[in-house]
């Protein structure tokens, strides 16, 4: 299975191509659009979300709501393209109209210009923009529905915004059943987070945070201890790190395990008749030796503050070589809520690939039957 995306932030469309998804999966397009709406929500989002009304349009690979086994092409159209086509049209446009030379610290602007031989950061930032994640969420929701057919569920929440964080560790059910505020589960904590976002906005600054993703129902043995590239934690970490602005990833105890003794880190193993092998703790986050162990996956990602600041940062104008204040693209103050939704999608895509790699199968019925025969 393979998933790739294309498109620019202010181009005509964003497109995802999903190859290798089995035939016979009934898709609920309403759920895809609901996921896109979730991505657009959240306190601290910018004015772009008022322009776009993201909806998924499936162009191929599905007939009468059911996958055919052929490549699925899904599109999310950019409504804002109408305001940008004079400077973004692929058929011909004015490339000087919205040229960006005052490169932003922390963004792909300068590194991308040097790598691709550009004199305009617009040619880099349009693709590096987190707008790309809209169609990744659409693809992720398709993969989530595939996983759901196997009994694999994904849920997530925002654990921290700036220095404001949740202290408790909620259960999977608490995460999936409660409608979160700002992506957080505790209303009081969310209220304090909103105050921090307002303060950052007033000061022309931005905020990041921490998101936690859980996966329930994944059986043991996905991933590999034999081939490093197939380690499940490596694949999931790569998926999370591929999300714009993510700078750190944890599995289970993560970094805190480094300060503990082994007796406080490793999960003791038990066996029960009818239940099989299990653990009473889950400090490993459901992955041991690069393979799922049947316990719940616990994954965390740290999102840095968005590098487009209202007040700008010191930089260099690459057109003149002189000191300047970085360019101010329309942006969010805090997009951690959206990041959490995107991370769920990224994990869904990576897990769907891992499941297809192990089980194969041309039809959903084949995959379900093979999954059912696996030990827990």
Least trusted range by pLDDT, from 46-60, 217-231, 241-255: 46-60
Partner residues linked to 251 by β-bridges: 299
Residue 128: CA count within 13 A, CB half-sphere: 20
State the chain's maximal CA–CA distance in angstroms.
74
How far, rounded to the nearest angstrom, does the alpha carbon of residue 284 sit from its chain's CA centroid?
A: 22
pLDDT band for 51, please (50, 70, 90 cuts): confident
- Distance, in Å, from the CA atom of 3 to the CA atom of 167, rounded to the nearest integer, reads 36
Tokens standing for residue 332: 């969010």
Q: What are phi and psi of 81, to 5 degrees?
A: -55, -35
What is the chain's Cα-based Rg? 22
Name the domain count of the chain: 1
Residue 255 has which token pair? 């970094």
Is residue 331 pLDDT above 80, yes or no?
Answer: no
Domain that holds residue 99: 2-372
Residue pLDDT, tens place only, 317-329: 999 999 999 987 7
Q: In the prediction, which pLDDT does 330 show?
A: 67
The yes-or-no verdict on residue 14 having pLDDT over 80 is yes
Distance CA 376, CA 373 (A): 9
Please write the tens of the pLDDT for every residue from 54-74.
999 999 999 999 999 999 999
Q: What is the pLDDT of residues 235-263, one digit of tens each?
A: 999 999 999 999 999 999 999 999 999 99
pTM: 0.96
Residue 354 contacts residue 237 (beta carbons within 8 Å): no
The CB density around residue 335, as the number of other CB atoms within 10 Å, is 27
pLDDT of residue 316: 97
- Assign residue 153 the CATH number of its domain: 3.60.150.10
Tell me the pLDDT tens digit for each residue of 187-211.
999 999 999 999 999 999 999 999 9
């Amino acid at each position: 299975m393979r998933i790739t995306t294309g498109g620019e932030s202010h181009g005509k469309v964003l497109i995802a191509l999903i190859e290798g998804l089995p035939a016979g999966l009934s898709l609920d397009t309403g759920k895809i659009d609901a996921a896109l709406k979730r991505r657009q929500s959240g306190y601290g989002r910018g004015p772009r979300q008022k322009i776009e009304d993201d909806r998924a349009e499936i162009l191929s690979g599905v007939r009468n709501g059911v996958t055919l086994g052929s490549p699925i092409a899904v599109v999310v159209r950019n409504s804002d393209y109408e305001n940008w086509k004079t400077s973004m049209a692929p058929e011909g446009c004015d490339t000087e109209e919205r040229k960006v030379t005052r490169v932003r610290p922390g963004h792909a602007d300068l590194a991308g210009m040097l790598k691709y031989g550009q004199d305009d950061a617009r040619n880099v930032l349009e693709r590096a923009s987190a707008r790309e994640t809209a169609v990744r969420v659409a693809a992720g929701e398709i993969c989530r529905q595939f996983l759901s057919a196997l009994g694999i569920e994904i849920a997530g929440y925002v654990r921290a915004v700036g220095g404001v964080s949740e202290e408790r560790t909620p259960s999977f059910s608490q995460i999936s059943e409660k409608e979160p505020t700002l992506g957080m589960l505790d209303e009081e904590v969310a209220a304090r987070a909103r105050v921090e976002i307002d303060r950052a906005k007033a000061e022309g600054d931005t905020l990041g945070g921490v998101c936690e993703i859980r996966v329930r129902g994944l059986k043991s043995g996905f991933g590999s201890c034999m081939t490093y590239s197939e380690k499940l934690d490596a694949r999931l970490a790569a998926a999370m790190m591929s999300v714009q602005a993510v700078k750190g990833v944890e599995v289970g105890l993560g970094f805190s395990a480094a300060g503990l003794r082994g007796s406080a880190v490793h999960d003791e193993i038990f066996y029960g008749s009818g239940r099989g092998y299990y653990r009473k703790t889950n400090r490993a986050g459901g992955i041991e030796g690069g393979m799922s162990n049947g316990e719940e996956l616990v994954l965390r990602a740290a999102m840095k503050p968005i590098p487009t600041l209202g007040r700008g940062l010191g930089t260099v104008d690459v057109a003149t070589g002189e000191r300047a204040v970085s360019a101010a693209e329309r942006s969010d103050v805090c997009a951690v809520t959206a990041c959490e939704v995107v991370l769920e999608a990224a994990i869904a895509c990576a897990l769907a690939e891992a499941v297809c790699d192990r089980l194969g199968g041309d039809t959903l019925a084949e995959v379900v039957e093979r999954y059912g025969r696996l030990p827990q």
